[in-house]
Structure 1
Amino acid sequence: MSVETTPLRRPAPRRRTPSDRLCDALAALGDHKGQVLTHSERAWASITFAGTRHAFAILFAGDEAVAAGERFVAELPEYEFAIPGQLVADASVVEVEHRMVPRPRLLVRCELLLLEDA
């Protein structure tokens, strides 16, 4: 009696979305020292453009991370993002909470507007 076997296939790799790429870019901008606490995404459109608005809360904990977070805050508004098919039309820091006790931490809330690049 013969049994037919089918070779196992690896699942197709998950396609990286613009949101995934944005998260990667923000992690790199923060020297991979920040922890994303919250991330929300909602559709956005005007008469001529369509895209998504993203809101993040990112925690930088510890001396080294706080220094990276301070650089993140300074560089975000002018940072040149490279996200295929997308244009970052606006990137702003909307709130920064800095604490030193019991250990240094920096909480950054930022918002970004991604537009579909035609």
Structure 2
Amino acid sequence: MQTSIVVRELCPTSTRQWLKTGAILLDIREAEATEALQFAEGNIMYMPLSQLMERYTEIPVETDVIVACERGVLSLDAAAFLQQNGFDRIYHMRKGLRHWVAKGYPVTGDTGDLPVSHHQCCGGHEHHHA
């Protein structure tokens, strides 16, 4: 029987606060996406999801790491993978870059392809990942 993984999540507002205190934002979007639009705040580490399984040992284990993608779906899976591989300071940014942009937080590049929607941002939540 497989045990479920509890993935802790942060909204973009909490993510910004954590980045100011030394957390790393791990952007797992593929190169084409990151070249078009980037997060423009904090310590950003780029590692495409397609390379994560081969390169995850490059991620510091002693630092809080917040995994982000475009919509917050793939980052949840990636965070669960990292937790299964011994990372205990891993978080996932809920709703991803789309929500970051919707909140008006800093980016560089073209946001024209992202539909902007305004949702409330709240505190941390947990997701169970089987």
Greater per-residue strand proportion: 1
Q: Same fold (TM over 0.5)?
A: no
Greater per-residue helix proportion: 2
TM-score (norm 2): 0.28
Structure with higher Rg: it is 1
